């Protein structure tokens, strides 16, 4: 006698409750391994219990789109056809717009401060680093502690 498909039943209940989800979100909700959930979804998709209702961009993976699954046997949506390199170039230009602008000014013969451009683009990261460094105190800055190597300065009178 075949066993009860616990994972598949849990996936059906989850999609009924939350609506269309992608495989990673389903795995996180069910607290199960990604591969386990993806194999169950693949079987359910082959049996037309699930269909692909849309696509989302996987974060951290260049050019890969992830399917969003919904209940039912409706026709699957086709994955978006995009120029991956064009999108990557646009994201790069948006992120480093100020640096690129200053590079173009330098090529045209204008005097440019490249360090200022880098600081402007990475201002948020820099401010986080400064804030974290302010909270860390060296032994010399802590009350009641002397700086290393300063013992020779503090000589008691003979």
Could you give the number of structural domains in the chain? 2
* Whole-number Å distance between alpha carbons of 9 and 60: 30
Decide: 62 and 88 in contact? Cβ < 8 Å.
Answer: yes
On whether residue 29 sits in a domain, the answer given is: yes
User: What are the residues facing 52 on neighbouring strands?
Assistant: 69
10 and 66 housed in the same domain: yes
Query: Residues 66, 119: one domain?
Result: no
- For residue 99, the model assigns a pLDDT of 76
d(CA 122, CA 4): 53
The pLDDT of residue 3 is 65
Residue 103 lies in a domain: yes
Residue 77 lies in a domain: no
- Could you tell me if residue 152 is inside a domain? no
* Residue 155 belongs to a domain: no
Given a contact cutoff of 8 angstroms between Cβ atoms, the answer to whether 43 and 7 are in contact is no
Which tokens go with 34?
Answer: 């990604």
Looking at 71, 86, 113, which one is the last position of a domain?
71
Distance in angstroms (rounded) separating the CA atoms of residues 55 and 39: 18
Residues 67 and 100 in one domain: no
23 and 64: one domain? yes
In terms of domains, do 10 and 54 share one? yes
Distance, in Å, from the CA atom of 45 to the CA atom of 70, rounded to the nearest integer, reads 10
d(CA 24, CA 135): 36
Contacts 24+ apart (CB under 8 A), 45-48: 45/69, 48/73
Statement to judge: residues 12 and 65 lie in one domain: yes
Answer yes or no: do 17 and 62 share one domain. yes
Domain for residue 112, yes or no? yes
Residue 34: CATH number of its domain:
1.10.10.10
The tens-digit pLDDT sequence of the chain (158 residues) is 456 789 999 999 999 999 999 999 999 999 999 999 999 999 999 999 999 999 987 776 566 788 999 999 999 999 887 766 777 788 777 777 777 777 777 777 776 666 666 656 566 565 666 776 666 555 555 455 455 555 555 555 55
Q: How far apart are the first and last CA of the chain?
A: 96
H/E element, 38 = helix 34-46
pLDDT at position 155, please?
54
Residue indicated by tokens 């401060």: 113
Instruction: Check residue 1 and give its pLDDT.
Output: 47
Q: Print the domain residue range for 122.
A: 96-135
Entry pTM: 0.53
Residues 56 and 107 in one domain: no
3-state secondary structure of 60: coil
């Amino acid at each position: 006698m075949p066993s009860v498909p616990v994972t598949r039943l849990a996936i059906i209940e989850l999609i009924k409750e939350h609506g269309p989800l992608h495989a990673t979100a389903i795995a996180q909700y069910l607290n199960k391994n990604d591969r386990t959930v993806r194999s169950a979804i693949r079987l359910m998709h082959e049996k037309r219990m699930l269909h692909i209702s849309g696509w989302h961009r996987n974060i951290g993976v260049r050019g890969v789109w992830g399917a969003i699954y919904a209940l039912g046997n409706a026709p699957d949506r086709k994955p978006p056809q995009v120029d991956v390199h064009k999108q990557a170039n646009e994201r790069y230009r948006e992120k480093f717009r100020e640096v690129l602008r200053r590079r173009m000014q330098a090529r045209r013969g204008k005097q440019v401060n490249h360090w200022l451009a880098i600081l402007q683009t990475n201002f948020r990261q820099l401010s986080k680093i400064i804030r974290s460094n302010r909270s860390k105190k060296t032994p010399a800055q802590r009350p009641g502690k002397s700086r290393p190597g300063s013992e020779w300065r503090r000589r008691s009178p003979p």
